[in-house]
């Protein structure tokens, strides 16, 4: 499922915010018109690769905030599971110190609507509903603009952790385009030359590089 260019699917769900508070109605609506959003999905609480990603985003959180970007994580665990994991120190495999929101997609509908649910419900030969697959999320990441439109998505299989610096680079590229109208070529980084979307712009860029 490709969501780029489309409105990010709506949801309202329980989440843990500020590392310690459970709320019942967390939604992306509160950021529309105000902030860009990096929404990332991870497979499961109390696992191995997942805490490395969650801490990596926390370590770069100030850089996202400087860009007026809200970082939000989501898995198919319960809010109580999120809260419990947040009480465990990093050296013991926990995520204590994470302050950005952790959404609890207990019904698995958010992961399904974003196209990152690993598994599906099917009818067996007895017409009984059963799960096919682990019913957890792949490592999906979505960059959503201030209008609530998905501008970038990335989906990794369970063993493959993501690069947080690349998420920041994509944020920079989108914001540069929004502010300057220029497009960003391969390996572009903040501060480098971008391109005007025309043949003359391509020629000018190539002459400088």
State residue 199's pLDDT score.
Answer: 45
How far CA 66 is from CA of 38, 144, 180, in Å, comes to: 14, 16, 18
- Same domain membership, residue 99 and residue 70: yes
2 found inside a domain: no
- The pLDDT confidence band at residue 192, using thresholds 50, 70 and 90, is confident
Per the listing, tokens 């391509």 go with 202
pLDDT at 52: 96
Same domain, 119 and 60: yes
For the cut 60, the answer to whether the pLDDT of residue 204 exceeds it is no
pLDDT given for residue 207 in this prediction: 47
Specify the pLDDT at position 198: 53
Distance, in Å, from the CA atom of 162 to the CA atom of 153, rounded to the nearest integer, reads 12
One of 8, 14, 28, 50 is an active-site residue; which one?
Answer: 50
Q: Rounded to an integer, what distance in angstroms lies between the CA atom of residue 35 and that of residue 37?
A: 6
Q: What is the pLDDT of residues 101-156, one digit of tens each?
A: 999 999 999 999 999 999 988 888 888 888 888 999 999 999 999 999 999 999 99
d(CA 134, CA 145): 31
- Domain of 208 in residue numbering reads as 163-209
Residue 31 lies in a domain: yes
Q: Domain total for the chain?
A: 2
Model pLDDT for residues 12-59, shown as the tens digit of each residue: 999 999 999 999 999 999 999 999 999 999 999 999 999 999 999 999
Judgement on whether residues 81 and 108 belong to the same structural domain of the protein: yes
Residue 134 token pair = 């682990």
Query: Contact, 38 vs 70, CB < 8 A?
Result: yes
99 part of a folded domain: yes
In a shared domain, residues 179 and 91: no
**Is 178 inside a domain boundary?**
yes
Closest CA relative to residue 31, chosen from 72, 2, 61, 60: 72
> Domain check: are 203 and 153 in the same one?
no
Q: In the annotation, is 50 catalytic?
A: yes
């Amino acid at each position: 499922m490709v969501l780029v260019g489309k409105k990010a699917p709506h949801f309202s769900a329980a989440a843990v915010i500020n590392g310690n508070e459970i709320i019942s109605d967390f939604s992306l609506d509160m950021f529309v018109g105000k902030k860009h959003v990096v929404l990332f999905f991870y497979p499961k609480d109390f696992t191995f690769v997942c805490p490395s990603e969650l801490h990596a985003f926390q370590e770069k959180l100030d850089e996202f905030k400087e860009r007026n970007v809200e970082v939000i994580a989501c898995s198919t665990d319960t809010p109580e599971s999120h809260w419990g994991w947040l009480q465990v120190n990093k050296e013991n495999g926990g995520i204590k110190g994470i302050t950005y929101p952790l959404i609890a997609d207990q019904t698995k509908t958010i992961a399904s609507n974003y196209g990152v649910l690993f598994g599906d419900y099917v009818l067996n030969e007895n017409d009984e509903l059963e799960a096919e697959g682990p019913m957890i999320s792949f490592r999906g990441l979505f960059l959503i603009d201030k209008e609530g439109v998905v501008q970038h998505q990335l989906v990794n299989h369970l063993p493959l952790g993501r690069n947080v610096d690349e998420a920041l680079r994509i944020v920079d590229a989108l914001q540069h385009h929004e502010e300057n109208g220029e497009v960003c070529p391969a390996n572009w980084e903040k501060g480098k030359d971008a391109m005007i979307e025309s043949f003359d712009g391509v020629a000018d860029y190539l002459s400088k590089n």
